[in-house]
Structure formats: C-alpha cells, structure tokens
Amino acid sequence: MTNNRKDVVFFLKNPEYLLSIAILAVILLSSLMQVLNRLIPAIKAPWTLELITYLFGALIWIGIALAIHDDSHVGIKSIYHKFPKKARKGLKIVHMCLFGIMLLFFGYLGMLALLSYARRGQSTPALHAPTWLMRSPIVIGALISLYRLGERIVMIVKDKDPEFKYDIPEGLADLSIEELLKEGLITETTPAQEDK
C-alpha cells in the first residue's frame, strides 16, 4: 500500500512523467489505427497521422522539462568537470538563466502564435480541432520548463543539487544517484571538500 502511495506522490510532484506516458500511449494507439487504416479500406481514420504529428511536438516540449528535472540535457561535460565545484555552480546557474531566457522567448512567440490562431478561428485540416489547442504544448512546455529551471537553480543555491551534494567519481556521472548510493560508489560532499 505504501509503495502505491509513493508512486502517486511521485507522479503528483512530477506530472511530466505521467503526461509523457499518456502522450506515448495515444501515439501508439493512433499509429496502430493508422496501420489498420492502410490495411483495411473500410476503416477511415485520416486524422491519425495529424494527431501523431502534434503529439510528437507535445512530447518534445514535455521532454525538455523532463530533461531539466533530471539534469540530463546535453552539455560539454569534459570541459565543465575540469572546473572547481564553486565555479561549476556559477556556470550552471548562468547556463540555466540563459536557457530560461531562451524558453521565455519561445514561450512568448508561441503565445503570439496561439493568439493569432484563436483570433482567426483556424482549425487543423484532418482533425478539425482548434489549431491554438493543438499548438498549446509549446507554451505549456515552456512554462513547465521555466518552473523546473527555477527549481533547479534553487537546488543549486541551497546545496541540494545531487551534482554538488555528492562526490561522484569521474566516469560515473551518467548513472543515477540512487544507483550510485545503493552500490556505495558515492559519498556526500562536506563543505570543506567543496573547494576542491
């Protein structure tokens, strides 16, 4: 019972995981329907390909927020890890602020596009759904990503970011913190070790 409660709490704190699972399920069902549409002429579902296209776009924006949450965006870590911890903290905060500015820009442009679609009453060709609704993951994803960036910056400032909280040996940075702790491969960093 407590395991189920932990799962519910996890998904409430991290709705991106649940959203991505739901989007992938709908993509899978739509893909199967698209295959049936091609094999059985009696089944008419021309909207499936369009739905899949829009959902892949939504998945990309949810994926951006997930990658921020998991701190797994692409970076040049070979150079980054040569800096001392304090310098890395500063670099990471600057990087996240610049990333946030980019997301604000995309979110703003996305909002302008949504307002334009809504003003014109534009709808998608096959689904006949409002275009503003189908394109809304751009703005929603940008907002969730900005929230996750803010959350990450607060973690860094409060020394709760796993990258700085634990002394992770070189070459093991790609493994999860839980896995490293379970195997006994990492230790918590003390303030005196931080300058190294």
Measured distance CA(109)–CA(112) in Å, rounded = 5
Please tell me whether residue 139 adopts helix, strand or coil conformation.
helix
Measured distance CA(145)–CA(100) in Å, rounded = 8
Measured distance CA(103)–CA(148) in Å, rounded = 11
In tens, the pLDDT along 4-47 reads 777 777 777 888 888 999 999 999 999 999 888 888 878 788 88
Q: Is the pLDDT of residue 68 over 70?
A: yes
Q: Is the pLDDT of residue 189 over 70?
A: no
| Cβ atoms 61, 141 nearer than 8 A | yes
**Domains in the chain: boundaries:** 2-158, 159-196
> Tell me, what's the pLDDT at 188?
67
> Tell me, what's the pLDDT at 115?
97
121 φ/ψ angles, rounded to the nearest 5 degrees: 70, 30
> Tell me, what's the pLDDT at 112?
97
> Tell me, what's the pLDDT at 4?
74
User: What proportion of the chain, given as a percentage, has pLDDT over 90?
Assistant: 53
> Tell me, what's the pLDDT at 114?
96
Burial class (CB in 10 A: 0-12, 13-18, 19+), 144: buried
Grade residue 98 by pLDDT with cuts at 50, 70 and 90: very high
